[in-house]
């Protein structure tokens, strides 16, 4: 699931990726139109972002006539998941459940989504722990055994 790429996708670059993900191949003009409109960026700004993504290997190009068509091998869901996993390293593993709980509270879900998640929880029950072990470094969480001072 790890994506082999030089660098991370920055927030601004993410907007470009979303346009590319929405299509199979896009000319820069489409990216520019969408983002000038959505973000109010100037054309050169968007060109810069495209260029950086190409340079860092996140976008591929195919020359068609005089212009390029942009595409990507990076899967949107894979990158989303990887980014979230990475962020979750900032949280004590004991708190992951509650954190997901808040996400559920705040999400707009379909009946189908709810059913899917319920199903997953039934699976999860099979492998659930009595107590989730804390994975924090000493001094970085409140689990008693590890408390400082």
Residue 62's CB is within 10 A of a number of other CB atoms, namely: 10
* 21: Cβ contacts below 8 Å, ≥ 6 apart: 72, 76
Question: What's the Rg (C-alpha) of the chain?
Answer: 21
Please provide the size of the chain in residues.
Answer: 149
Contact predicate 20/58, CB 8 Å: no
Check binding of 21 to DNA (CB under 7 A). Answer: no
Taking residues 52 to 71 in sequence order and writing x for each that binds DNA by CB under 7 A, - otherwise, the string is --x----------xxxx---
Instruction: State the binding partner of 30 from a copy of itself, DNA, none, CB within 5 to 8 A by kind.
Output: a copy of itself
- The conformational region for residue 65 under phi > 0 = left, psi -120 to 50 = alpha, else beta, is left
Among candidate residues 83, 87, 82, 53, the one with its CA nearest the CA of residue 70: 53
Binding mask 38-77 for a copy of itself (x = CB under 8 A): x--------------------------------------x
Q: Is 140 in the site for DNA (CB under 7 A)?
A: no
The binder of 4, among DNA, a copy of itself, none, by C-beta within 5 to 8 A per type, is none
**DSSP letter at 66?**
T
Among 19, 53, 59, 74, interactor with a copy of itself by CB under 8 A: 19
Distance, CA of 64 to chain centre: 30
Q: How far is the CB of 63 from DNA (least distance, A)?
A: 8
- Which listed range, 38-46, 78-86, 97-105, 138-146, lies at the site for DNA (CB under 7 A)? 38-46
Bridge partners (DSSP) of residue 60 are 71
| Interface contacts to a copy of itself, rule CB under 8 A | 14-15, 18-19, 21-23, 26, 30, 33-34, 37-38, 77, 80-81, 83-85, 87-88, 90-91, 93, 95-114, 116-118, 120-121, 124-125, 128-133, 136-142, 146-149
């Amino acid at each position: 699931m790890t994506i082999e790429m030089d660098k991370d996708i920055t927030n601004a670059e993410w907007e470009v990726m979303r346009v590319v993900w929405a299509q199979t191949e896009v000319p820069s003009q489409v990216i520019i139109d969408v983002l000038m409109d959505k973000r109010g960026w100037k054309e050169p700004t968007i060109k810069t972002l495209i260029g950086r993504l190409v340079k860092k290997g996140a976008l591929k190009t195919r020359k068609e006539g005089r212009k390029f068509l942009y595409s990507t091998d990076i899967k949107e869901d894979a990158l989303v998941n990887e980014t979230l996993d990475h962020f979750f390293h900032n949280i004590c593993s004991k708190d992951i459940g509650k954190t997901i709980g808040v996400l559920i509270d705040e999400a707009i879900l379909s009946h189908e989504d709810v059913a899917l998640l319920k199903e997953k929880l039934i699976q999860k029950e099979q492998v659930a722990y009595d107590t989730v072990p804390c994975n924090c470094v000493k001094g970085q969480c409140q689990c008693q055994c590890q408390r400082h001072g």
